[in-house]
Amino acid sequence: MTELPSSSPPSVLILTKDEEVNIGACLDCFKFTDDVVVLDSCSTDRTVEIARKYANVRVASRPFDNEYNQRTFGLHEIEYRHPWVYVCDADERVPAELAREIVQVINAPGCEEAAFRLRYKNMYLGRWIKRSSGYPVWLVRLVRPDRVRYEHRETNIHLIIDGNVGELRENFVHYSFNKGLVPWFHKHNYYSQLESHEAQRVLGSTTLGEHLRHTFDRDKFVRRRAFKNLSFFPPLRGPIRFLYMYLLRLGLLDGGAGFHYASMISMYEYWIELKVRELRSKWRERTDALAERMLREVAP
């Protein structure tokens, strides 16, 4: 395609922390713009060194305190050369077709949008796991910093957009396992802990029997809530999630990668189930009580 002489590229913001395996390939995608900002939070690897080799890259540093502050700083405290900013993680790649589309839409006459969202292709074991990853999921990545801001809500942060959100046709590519699986396991060990505490809070002291009874309640709303609460009562949480992802969502069409991704997620579901049980049955307390009993002197 022929670009108009007046067409300007977007600026790019990439948040990093120890991304030496990813940063080079990520920056290679942005040769079409003259303004890339790498906002690094104290990497201890070669991330910054690699980033500095690119003529179009500026490196900024800010210690990570929380995601909200880091992202807000990135979008609003840094001066960009261009009105549009494409926000990106180091493990994401922007194919050439997407780059062309971005330049095209932000330079289109009469572009009124404040942001654009797009879909992504999740990669695992060298292939796109389309079905197992629940494609399509839409994410806002291209924004006008003057018309968006982040908002803090409980555990998640949300982007508040003042204006219309357009949609891009092309996808970006997400390599979530480029740093190996160990970080994934640790992250999901942590998430499952959070989830189990959430379940504990929702369940309160009600028993499974009561929830089951409520599913036959006359009141429709009581019934509905009982069904939702039942999802926190394990048994078979893992297998159910597996069957859902692998068969119902056709993960089996993603080959071996689809099988393993569905298995990993169901293992994660099982961890949640186990931790809910741990909290509800007070395993640690019962272990201590059992030890005390077994160590007690036998009366002569």
Partner 1 sequence: MSEHAAAKPRIVVMIPTLNEAMHIAETVANARQVGEVFVLDSCSTDGTQQMARDAGAHVIEHPWEGYARQKNWGLDNLPVPADWVFILDADERLTPALRDEVLRVAASNTPVQGFLVNRVVLFMGRAIRHGGLYPSWNLRFFRFGHCRYEDRAVHEHMICDGPTGYLKCEMLHIRRETISEYIKKHIRYADLESDEWVRLKLGQGGGAQPKTMFRDVLRYRQWLRRKVWPKVPARPLLRFLYMYFVRFGFLDGRAGLHLAQLMASYEYMISLLYRDKMQRIASGVLKMPAPAPASPSQSIATSPAVASAADRAAPQAATTEADLAH
Among the listed residues 260, 272, 267, the one whose alpha carbon sits nearest the alpha carbon of residue 122: 260
Which residue in the set 141, 144, 275, 280 belongs to the binding site for partner 1 (CB under 8 A)?
A: 275
Whole-angstrom distance, CA of residue 22 vs CA of residue 41: 15
How would you label 47-83 residue by residue, b for 16+ Cβ within 10 Å and e otherwise?
A: bbebbeebeebbbeebeeeeeeebbbebbeebebebe
Q: Which is nearer to partner 1, 116 or 246 (CB)?
A: 246
| Closest-CA residue to 125 (of 184, 45, 190) | 184
267 touches partner 1 by CB under 8 A: yes
CA distance 69 to 82: 22
Q: What is the Cα 252 distance to its own chain's centre?
A: 23
Rounded least distance, CB 233 to partner 1, Å: 14
- Provide the minimum distance between the beta carbon of 290 and partner 1 in the complex, in angstroms, as a whole number: 6
Asked if 282 interacts with partner 1 (CB under 8 A), we say: yes
Q: Measured from the CB atom, is 78 or 125 closer to partner 1?
A: 125
Examine residue 108 and tell whether it contacts partner 1 (CB under 8 A): no
How far apart CA 254 and CA 124 sit, in angstroms, is 10
Determine if 181 is a binding residue for partner 1 (CB under 8 A).
yes
Measured CA to CA, the distance from residue 97 to residue 170 in angstroms comes to 7
Q: How far is the CB of 128 from partner 1 (least distance, A)?
A: 16
Q: Which stretch binds partner 1 (CB under 8 A): 43-51, 54-62, 99-107, 270-278?
A: 270-278
From 178, 200, 225, 252, residue interacting with partner 1 (rule: CB under 8 A): 178
208 binds partner 1 (CB under 8 A): no
Is there binding between residue 120 and partner 1 (CB under 8 A)?
no
> In angstroms, what is the minimal distance from the CB of 260 to partner 1?
7
Among 193, 203, 215, 223, binds partner 1 (CB under 8 A): 193
Q: By CB under 8 A, which span of 6-14, 77-85, 97-105, 265-273 interacts with partner 1?
A: 265-273
Shortest distance, CB of residue 121 to partner 1, whole angstroms?
18
Closest approach, Cβ 52 to partner 1, in A, equals 21
Q: Provide the β-strand partners of residue 38.
A: 14, 59
Told to check if 291 binds partner 1 by CB under 8 A, we report yes
Q: Is position 248 an interface residue for partner 1 (rule: CB under 8 A)?
A: no
- Per CB under 8 A, the list member of 89, 185, 208, 243 interacting with partner 1 is 185
Per CB under 8 A, 177 contacts partner 1 = yes
8 binds partner 1 (CB under 8 A): no
Which residues form the interface with partner 1 (CB under 8 A)? 21, 125-126, 177-178, 180-182, 185-186, 189-190, 192-193, 260, 263-264, 267, 270-271, 274-275, 277-278, 281-291, 294-298
